[in-house]
Amino acid sequence: LTFGALMAGTGVRVRFAPSPTGMIHLGGARTALFNFLYSRAEGGRCILRIEDTDKERTVPGAVHRMKEALKWLGVNFDEGPSLGGDYGPYVQVYGGPKKCTHFRCPLTSRFDDLHFM
């Protein structure tokens, strides 16, 4: 979304990107609700993107339970898994090595040390 598109009134795009590692917690529900309400107030879109980056902690059925809980709160996503949209994929799966030691900063093109556990 470009600045010109925003000025033309196409609205904002916000996302909620939980990890399917269990039941949704209060902080996650608050973030999803606030993002949803903000997108509606601004005439924008609210996107669900699942960040399944820790396969060892993934809980089967967690995504379905999260979607049901958010639906109960009145959060209706405009794009996401099973909804589709123009900017997928809406599920991020990471199955690579557990340790990442360097990251190239896109703004400075230099490497910075990162430590993931």
Confidence of residue 84 (pLDDT cuts 50, 70, 90): confident
d(CA 53, CA 72): 26
Q: Specify the pLDDT at position 107.
A: 56
User: To the nearest whole percent, how much of the chain has pLDDT over 90?
Assistant: 35
d(CA 4, CA 6): 5
CB 87 within 8 A of CB 81: no
Q: Taking the model in full, what pTM does it have?
A: 0.68
Q: How many CB atoms lie within 10 A of CB 40?
A: 14
- Greatest pairwise CA separation for the chain in angstroms: 45
Q: What is the mean pLDDT of residues 26-39?
A: 94
Given a cut of 70, whether residue 105 has pLDDT beyond it is no
